[in-house]
Amino acid sequence: MKILVSGGAGFIGSHIVDRLISLGHEVFVIDNLLTGSKDNLNPKAIFYELDITNLKDIEKVFKENNFDYVFHTAAGYLVQSIENPQRDLAINAMGTLNICELAKKYKIKKIIYSNSGGASYGEPIKLPFTEDHPMKPLNPYGASKGVAELYLYMYYHNYGVNYTSLRYGNVYGPRQNPKLEGGVVSVFLDAFIKGEQPIMRSDGTPTRDYVYVDDVVDANILAMTLGKPDGYHVATGKEVSVIELVSVMQKVLGINIGVKQGPPRIGDIQSAVFSIEKIKKDLNWEPKTSLEEGIKKTIYWMREFQNKKL
């Protein structure tokens, strides 16, 4: 099949591209390289350096190719959303609206959308989060990602554009850029590997649900055929504090380096953990990678990557 991956040079998108190509699909990538990198691109993918906010440009790609599916992973990132909420809204909301319009016009079988879980929900009313939790985001990124899913819902109900929205926990793994995306695993590991103290923007008690990128890719592939037009959590269902996360990292690395205390980040919530019962039932998916094993794999990649950059 012919499949388009928006944001296919980015962290999660590039892993989806690799898996799709390994399964024998013809894969096309649209990416403006804002957070993505050509280093992440699979050489077998057909690449268009374009911005999804430019409807005219990306329509040419849809018109020239008869896509079966679209994996929509292109997005801004949390830090940028606070500094430039207008740009964040354009990428996440307008970009998704453009994808919806083209999916309707060119009869795409399904859009598989990469959404954020905790950022879209805001402070939990109860834990674990279930998919019916109200969306009350506390930062621009969460707001724009949540709005994008509402467009997908609307296009399905009004025009029959099929979709599945995957709401991620804190995804980590190889290719996550510590300087851009702000994932705590990549940021902390980058500092620890360099023998530096990372900045902890809390007292260490906030909790998150950390899910390894390969498990996220598994969920995306299953969503092609099994996902309903609805939202699903892609997480582990396990609540891990920052203190616990640091402990696992230091154990794997065999180090004992402290952390620096920094100011909290705007819009960060205290606790997040996700129910995964719905995705287990509908997609027969559950995570395979433990936190310790995922961190080991991420450290291996970061060391290889840094050696290549030296």
Closest CA to 298 of 225, 249, 261, 234: 249
Report angle CA 169, 152, 87 to the nearest 5 degrees: 70
Higher pLDDT, 38 or 82: 38
User: Mean of the per-residue pLDDT values for the chain?
Assistant: 93
What is the CA angle 73-185-258, rounded to 5? 160
pLDDT score at 247: 96
What's the rounded mean pLDDT across residues 276-291? Answer: 98
Rounded CA-CA distance 248/189 in Å is 11
Q: Report pLDDT for 107.
A: 98
Answer whether residue 308 shows pLDDT above 60: no
118 close to 264: Cβ distance less than 8 angstroms: no
The string of pLDDT tens digits covering residues 160-189 is 999 999 999 999 999 998 887 568 999 999
What is the tens place of the pLDDT at every residue in 78-92?
666 677 889 899 999
Give the integer Cα–Cα distance in Å for 233 and 99. Answer: 22
**Cis peptide bond prior to 229, omega within 30° of 0:** no
Per-residue pLDDT, averaged over 34-40, amounts to 92
**pLDDT given at position 79:** 65
What positions carry a catalytic annotation? 141
What percentage of the chain reaches a pLDDT higher than 90? Answer: 80
Task: With cut-offs at 50, 70 and 90, classify the pLDDT of residue 3.
Answer: very high
pLDDT recorded at residue 213: 98
Q: What is the mean pLDDT of residues 270-293?
A: 97
Structural domains of the chain ordered from first start? 2-171+211-234 (3.40.50.720), 176-208+238-309 (3.90.25.10)
Residue 178, pLDDT score: 86
Instruction: Give 96: exposed, middle or buried? Use CB within 10 Å, 0-12, 13-18, 19+.
Output: buried
- The stretch 49-58 carries a mean pLDDT of 97
Spell out the residues 6+ positions from residue 128 whose beta carbon is closer than 8 angstroms to its own. Answer: 237, 239, 273, 274, 275
Average pLDDT rounded to a whole number, residues 46-57:
97
Residue 73 clears pLDDT 60, i.e. is over it: yes
Phi, psi of 139 (to 5 degrees): -145, 160
**% of the chain surpassing 70 pLDDT:** 96
Q: What is the pLDDT of residue 310?
A: 34
How confident is the model over 203-228, as pLDDT tens digits? 889 999 999 999 999 999 999 999 99
pLDDT digits (tens, 9 = 90+) for 116-164: 887 889 999 999 999 999 999 988 888 999 999 999 999 999 999 999 9
pLDDT band of 32, cuts 50, 70, 90: very high
Per-residue pLDDT at 181 = 55
* Cα 235 to Cα 7, 226, 279, 290, 292, distances in angstroms: 21, 18, 10, 12, 15
Single pTM value for the model:
0.96
The answer to whether residue 249 scores a pLDDT higher than 70 is yes
